[in-house]
Amino acid sequence: MSAPAPPPPVTAEGMLPRGDQRIHWEESGTPDGVPTLYLHGGPGGRLTPGYRRNSPAGSARIIGLSQRGTGRSAPSAGAPGPVDLSAQTTGDLVADLEALRVHLGIEAWIVQGVSWGSTLALAYAQAHPDRALGLVLFAVTTTSRREVEWITEGVAALYPEAWDAFAALAETRAGFDRRDRSSQRLRLVEAYRRMVTAEDGTLVDEAVRAWMRWEDAHIGIGAGGPAAPHAVPEDGEVDEHARRFARLVTHYWAHDGFVADWAVPWGASPGSGLLGGMARLSGIPGVLIHGRRDVSGPALTAWELHRAWPGSELIVVEDEGHGGPRMAEHWRAAVARLVDASRPGPQ
């Protein structure tokens, strides 16, 4: 495998006003190149420079943004004290992307999404299929209830020691009962959502620590996973990024990604979510890249999307998990192919 090139420098950036929110965006690459949009993971992740090297800088206009409440966007969802997350829905994020497209004068773009970003990429493309030149989805998710239940409770079958510690805090501080199997039970993700948005700052930080330790436990399997651990060092303070991540991920996951009802107006069955809207992507090229060892997000979701998306390409890397160097190489190659296919021919 060839070593990735260093990320190209940022050539323009700004803050896009969106009501009470300000969305930070940046641009690199070639100003008159094929536009590519990068959507980071989380929810509650952040924009890191490495994404810029996954689009060909000589032929792509590379756009990235910090999703509302994250990174350099403001206000931060990780500020100490109570936060208002009422303007945090997938619909709000999709609207931000479309507003940014208009602001930058872009007709259509290639949309890339990593992990949660792949959910957002699918939601955007289903809402605005005429604005998507193609999609590249990496560590594929749709944030369905099935996926959320697996990543917060089902995967305990693989990490019982870590999950017991994770669940114990919710049992003692939020009323979660692991023995309750009824349909009315308190979900573990909801218990954590309540704790990380509580008014008690001590409880917030204790829950954030527990959530980030659990992230490290289940996401690290497979070669070349996340570049840095999520967990807050035992002797360190809970910082704004950790608080923001835990708040936003539990907020979105507790609401099944705010996508469960999106498919209904498009003629699909209620509750079918993004999978039910895949017909809207007919004719749009897509590449789905997933690691077989991704226990946090089993390959079933990527397979179901691929089957429902004629013309899409599914690449499963057998020996990697929620990311890895071979997956990243496939990512760069897929974006390069789509950029080449989208470039105007000779006049």
Distance CA 155, CA 319 (A): 19
Read off the tokens for 258: 């705010």
Are 23 and 68 contacting, i.e. CB atoms less than 8 angstroms apart?
yes
Catalytic residue among 96, 205, 256, 294: 294
Strand ranges for 56-119 from DSSP E: 60-65, 109-114
Number of residues that make up the chain: 347
Q: Residue 75, preceding bond cis, omega within 30 degrees? A: yes
CB atoms within 10 A of CB 160: 10
Q: Which residues contact 51 (CB under 8 A, 6 or more apart)?
A: 7, 38, 40, 64, 112, 114
DSSP calls for 190-249: HHHHHHHT-S-HHHHHHHHHHHHHHHHHHH--SBT--SS--SPPTTS---HHHHHHHHHH
Distance CA 257, CA 145 (A): 8
Are 84 and 57 contacting, i.e. CB atoms less than 8 angstroms apart?
no
Catalytic residue among 312, 322, 330, 342: 322
Rounded to the nearest 10°, the torsion over CA 70, 73, 76, 77 is -40
Q: Enumerate the β-bridge partners of residue 26.
A: 13, 64
Single-letter residue type at 125: A
Catalytic residue among 115, 144, 312, 342: 115
Q: Is 115 among the catalytic positions?
A: yes
Catalytic annotation, residues: 115, 294, 322
